[in-house]
Structure 1
Amino acid sequence: MKVIDKLAWLEIKDEKILSTRSRGRTKYYIPGGKRESGESDMEALAREIKEELNIELIEDTVRFAGVFQAQADSHAEGIQVKMTCYKSSYKGTISPSGEIEEVIWLTYRDRSLVSPVDQLIFDWLKERKQIQ
């Protein structure tokens, strides 16, 4: 089984989670991405978030949230994505950049609009009463 290793930043405000939609895509994804060779979780996550949202994560506030794994969206059956999630404060104003076409705040009612691994994260956040 092939596993795609990804990192995600969980930003929750007013019981909604920040999500993004890339150009040409219909599904929303929790911000983050793949690590480059030799990068730590923090280095990769900070780079991806800066590239996608034009903000800087504040390193000493980064906290591990959990690891989730599911079928990878838009990949052959059996290819899994493993999402290691973190929460963190940030500096700057969130705005879409690069491949990101839309930034949106989603609730649990929007669960069908996200990838399978993000659906697991939505379930986990809902159980903990962090999203509505």
Structure 2
Amino acid sequence: MLDSTASPALIRIAAALLIGPDGRTLLVRKRGTQAFMQPGGKIDAHEQPAEALARELNEELGLTIDPIQAQFLGEFSAPAANEPGHVVQAQLFLLTIDVDVSPAAEIEEVIWIDPATDGNVILAPLTRDVILPFYRASLTA
């Protein structure tokens, strides 16, 4: 049952800023969409954000992580890329990985990009306007 005071346009997710050994970050694109975004997904009612992230990374990329290893970076919001009129509220976690991943479930494509660029691809608003600028600022701090 939804709380009538909660905004029905809010999508709560756990997302990962996955950094590879070369400093590039992994982005995913869902089947039937154009925008690349951070891997992750919706947080189920019974889940903690880091647990939801671990589940989603396993389902979408075949990546097994220990939720304790995920470093919480903060909560970030932006217009949803694929749900018009909705806002994505992301609990963002930093993870460094050194394993191959491959798309599974609803993920059609994965790419590694230099976080200092847009990778010459269409990016979701949360990734383009919030997460990548946040990460770039943390590198120069």
Which TM-score bucket, shorter chain as reference? 0.7 to 0.9
Contact residue 3 and residue 82 of structure 1 kept, 8 A: yes
Where do 5+ consecutive residues of structure 2 fail to align?
1-6
Counterparts of 1:121 and 1:97 in 2: how far apart (Å)? 23
Give the structure 2 partner of residue 109 of structure 1.
117
Counterparts of 2:30 and 2:102 in 1: how far apart (Å)? 13
What is the DSSP-based 3-state SS (H/G/I as helix, E as strand, rest coil) of the residue aligned with 1:48? helix
2:11 maps to amino acid: I
Could you list the per-position Cα deviations for residues 43-64 of structure 1 after superposition, in whole angstroms to 9, with x for gaps in the alignment? 2111100000101112332210
Give the structure 2 partner of residue 60 of structure 1.
68
Whether 2:94 is the aligned partner of 1:94: answer no
Contact residue 71 and residue 93 of structure 2 kept, 8 A: yes
Change (3 A) 1:91 1:44: farther
Counterparts of 2:48 and 2:95 in 1: how far apart (Å)? 16
What is the DSSP-based 3-state SS (H/G/I as helix, E as strand, rest coil) of the residue aligned with 1:118? helix
Give the structure 2 partner of residue 126 of structure 1.
136
Work out the percentage of aligned pairs sharing the same amino acid. 32
Alignment counterpart, residue 50 of structure 2, candidates 17, 42, 46: 42
1:129 maps to amino acid: L
What is the DSSP-based 3-state SS (H/G/I as helix, E as strand, rest coil) of the residue aligned with 1:128? helix
Deviation at 1:42, TM superposition (A): 2.1
Deviation at 1:20, TM superposition (A): 0.7
What is the TM-score when the length of structure 1 is the normalising length?
A: 0.85
Counterparts of 1:115 and 1:89 in 2: how far apart (Å)? 21
Larger CA deviation: 27-36 vs 86-95: 86-95
Q: C-alpha root-mean-square deviation of aligned residues, in Å?
A: 2.1
What is the TM-score when the length of structure 2 is the normalising length?
A: 0.80
Could you list the per-position Cα deviations for residues 35-85 of structure 1 after superposition, in whole angstroms to 9, with x for gaps in the alignment? 1221111221111000001011123322101211111123333x2111111
Counterparts of 1:44 and 1:22 in 2: how far apart (Å)? 18
2:16 maps to amino acid: W
Change (3 A) 1:124 1:91: closer
Q: Aligned residue pairs: how many?
A: 129
Counterparts of 1:53 and 1:113 in 2: how far apart (Å)? 20
Deviation at 1:89, TM superposition (A): 5.0
